Amino acid sequence: MTETKKLLGEDRRNYILSLLKENSRPFTGTELSKLTNVSRQIIVGDITLLKAKNEPILATSQGYLYIQDSKPSIYEKVIACIHTPEKTEEELTILVDHGVTVKDVKIEHPVYGDLTASILVSSRSEVKQFMKKVNSTKASYLLELTSGIHLHTISAPTREALLEAEEALRKADFLIED
């Protein structure tokens, strides 16, 4: 595949799908647009069409990611946290330092109900990249809508990693206890 060849319609969507399926890393819309020689907006439309066909594609802060079914055994938990926006990087770093992936953030909005946003960070470098994107776009954090209260879905290869991460958040005063 050369970068100069423009892929059309279904061929382009099949190519995008195969790229996402064959790679565990996310691809940005810009990367996909360069590979297929179309605009980023066309890629956004293609991703929407693929999702409409029930393809498990997730839009993350790092790009588009195909959710593979054949993942190793993972333990998952939802935790309740509270902090100011300025403490977000510290919270995420505590979690990833314990081998945890932060999958998402969720709030309960008084008008819209549950709002969930994908985060998908599992290393310090991914946390830095996430924070850089938030800061460069001047995006607001969901927790700003709920006085700092929010939920995270976290996952790890062992139950112990989840418990250790949770304890570290407790010590840092981020965890909301039952």
59-102: pLDDT as tens digits: 887 889 898 765 556 899 999 999 999 999 999 999 999 999 99
Distance CA 47, CA 64 (A): 8
Nearest to 80 by CA among 99, 107, 103, 117: 107
pLDDT value of position 3: 45
For residues 103-108, average pLDDT: 93
Domain ranges (residues) in the chain: 9-66, 75-171
pLDDT of residue 2: 44
pLDDT score, position 165: 96
Q: How far is residue 70's CA from residue 30's CA, in Å, rounded to a whole number?
A: 28
| Topology adopted by domain 75-171 | Histidine-containing Protein; Chain: A; (3.30.1340)
Q: Which residue has the higher pLDDT, 123 or 5?
A: 123
pLDDT at 92: 97
pLDDT of 116: 92
CB 65 within 8 A of CB 57: yes
CATH number of 9-66: 1.10.10.10
Hey, what amino acid is at 4?
A: T
Q: Full-prediction pTM beyond 0.85? A: no
Computed from CA positions of residues 83, 79, 152, 23, in that sequence, does the dihedral angle turn out positive or negative? positive
> Which residue in this structure is represented by tokens 């209260």?
149
Which pLDDT belongs to residue 73? 61
Q: What is the pLDDT of residue 151?
A: 94
> What pLDDT score was predicted for residue 178?
67
